[in-house]
Amino acid sequence: MNIKINENFDLLSENYLFSEINKRINNFKESNKNVDIIKLGIGDVTLPLGKKVIDALLNASKEMGNKDTFRGYPPEYGYDFMKDAVKKYYKRINVSLDLDSIFISDGAKSDLGNIVDIFGDNPIYIPNPVYPVYLDSNLMSGRNINYIIGNEENNFLPLPTKDIKDNSIIYLCSPNNPTGGAYNYDELKKWVDFANNNGSLIIYDSAYEAFILNDKLPHSIYEIEGASNCAIEICSFSKQAGFTGLRCGWTIIPLNLESQNHKINSLWKRRQATKFNGVSYPVQRAAEAALSDEGILECINNINYYMENAKMLSKLFDEKNIFYTGGKNSPYIWFKCPNNMKSWDFFDYLLENANVVGTPGAGFGTFGEGYFRITSFNTHEKTMEAIERLRRIL
Ligand code: PLP
């Protein structure tokens, strides 16, 4: 075969983070057969779905097996009942959305990855360190990428700088994966004002908004005045409602977002109608249930469970006086490796001396080198045991 391939794929670095982690664990296990390894690297939820969600899923599945209630293709942009549920969810934070600005998706990753389809060749600004999908999807499209640097000085929550070019696309993630940091109103306002003044578009990933426990922090960028003129928001049921295996999310593209005489909302509509056939009816009914009053309470119960773990972990780093971010409004804790160790060296040290696994910060970008991510998705018992082990070696 001699077809031309997309050479931009050569620009992607090997997706080796989790395979390398597993390789090192397996090597370690070979010579340490009976050792109990505790995994604090988990980036996936572990608690089961709530009763409301399961009931809705079962009922909708039954409807699909009945001649009178069977449904075929769903609308590409989501059923109205589902969009209504999202609209109502935003009302709790006093954000009013047009129904047509809401797109139901099969999760945030797809939309974060696919949104590049509707834009031309603009300068792209991506935080470093951050969730790798923004970088890789832009590399695949041959875009010109710049980094917004997160470091200890800015608590891994970078703010706008003068060197950011006009008319750029800027990715923000709050609460952030991997650093767990969350922007406050003033900080987010700086980004919104900046974008409105220099003609830029913000793509705001709020996949972890439900973990925000501090009522002084914004859950959505649309809580900031002017954001509907410069921002797209992408969110997910994955971590909020335990949908990592069910798959559902949403994207908000305000109707007034416009560039070069094109409505961004219409471009996305066209894109989705061409390449996406919507989210299944049972899953949308389940997601609707997750946003009902009772459903939200069930989700909060699970989130509180994880956040108990995050609190216990944070305490350890307070006690040891180690620099860390996250753990307060996020399931992630991001800390500086002791003795200026590099991320992967610390990974090995932790595995060998505490039999605990986390994620090396270098896997989230060059500025993650020297840092480490642990998560709160394990059980209380395992997390407490891990803390005891960490206390001994840190
Ligand atoms: N955004 C961030 C910051 C994430 O960490 C993740 C998943 O880990 C996603 C988006 C993807 O979410 P989804 O499961 O909805 O595709």
* Blockwise average pLDDT, block size 10, the chain, 394 residues: 94 84 94 94 93 98 98 97 98 98 98 98 97 95 96 98 97 98 98 98 98 96 98 98 98 97 98 97 98 97 98 97 97 97 97 97 96 97 97 94
Q: Angle, nearest 10°, between helix axes 343-354 and 380-393?
A: 110
Q: Residue 104, SS3? A: strand
Q: Is 207 in the pocket of ligand 1 (CB under 6 A)?
A: yes
Nearest CA to 368 among 124, 17, 9, 38? 17
Report the alpha-carbon distance of residue 122 to residue 125 in Å, rounded.
10
Q: How far apart are CA 57 and CA 284, in angstroms?
A: 9
Other CB atoms within 10 Å distance of the CB of residue 8: 14
177 CB near ligand 1 (under 6 Å): yes
Looking at ligand 1, which residue's alpha carbon is closest to its atom 3? 177
- The per-residue pLDDT for 50 is 96
Q: In this structure, what token pair is assigned to residue 297? A: 């309470």
Nearest to 276 by CA among 84, 110, 140: 110
The reply to whether ligand 1 has any atom less than 6 angstroms from the CB of 328 is: no
- Give the residue carrying structure tokens 């999310």: 249
* Radius of gyration for the alpha carbons in the chain, expressed in angstroms and rounded: 21
What confidence score (pLDDT) does residue 325 get? 98
Whether 107 is in the pocket of ligand 1, judged by its Cβ within 6 Å, is yes
Contacts of 142 (CB under 8 A, 6+ apart): 8, 121
Residue 205 CA, closest ligand 1 atom number:
1
Tell me, using a 6 A CB cutoff, whether residue 131 lines ligand 1. Answer: yes
Ligand 1 centre to CA of 109 (Å) is 5
Q: Is 375 in the pocket of ligand 1 (CB under 6 A)?
A: no
pTM score, whole prediction: 0.97
Inter-residue contact 220 to 206 (CB < 8 Å) = yes
Closest-CA residue, ligand 1 atom 11, reads: 109
Q: For residues 201 and 231, is the Cβ–Cβ distance under 8 A? A: yes
Q: Is the CB of 173 under 6 A from ligand 1?
A: yes
For residues 380 and 308, is the Cβ–Cβ distance under 8 A?
yes
**Amino acid identity, residue 324?**
Y
> Which atom of ligand 1 is the closest one to the Cα of 108?
15
Mutate to test the pocket of ligand 1, among 42, 134, 177 (most ligand atoms within 8 A of CB): 177
Q: What phi, psi does 61 have (nearest 5°)?
A: -65, -40
Residue minimizing CA distance to atom 12 of ligand 1: 108
Does residue 283 line the site of ligand 1, with CB under 6 A?
no
User: Which atom of ligand 1 lies closest to the CA of 177?
Assistant: 3
The answer to whether the beta carbons of residues 150 and 156 sit under 8 Å apart is yes
Q: How far is Cα 143 from Cα 370, in angstroms, rounded to an integer?
A: 28
Question: One-letter amino acid identity for 82?
Answer: M
Contacts with 361 (C-beta within 8 Å, 6 or more apart), sequence order? 129, 178, 334, 337, 343, 368, 369, 370, 371, 372, 373
* Structure token digits, residue 11: 């620009």
Pairing of strands 249-252, 231-236: antiparallel
CA dist 45 and 26 (Å) reads 23
Instruction: Tell me, using a 6 A CB cutoff, whether residue 60 lines ligand 1.
Output: no
CB 276 within 8 A of CB 282: no
Find how far residue 142's CA is from the centre of its chain: 23
Instruction: Tell me 100's DSSP state.
Output: G
Phi and psi for 342 in degrees, rounded to 5? -80, 155
Size (the chain), residues? 394
Q: Whose CA is nearest to atom 1 of ligand 1?
A: 207
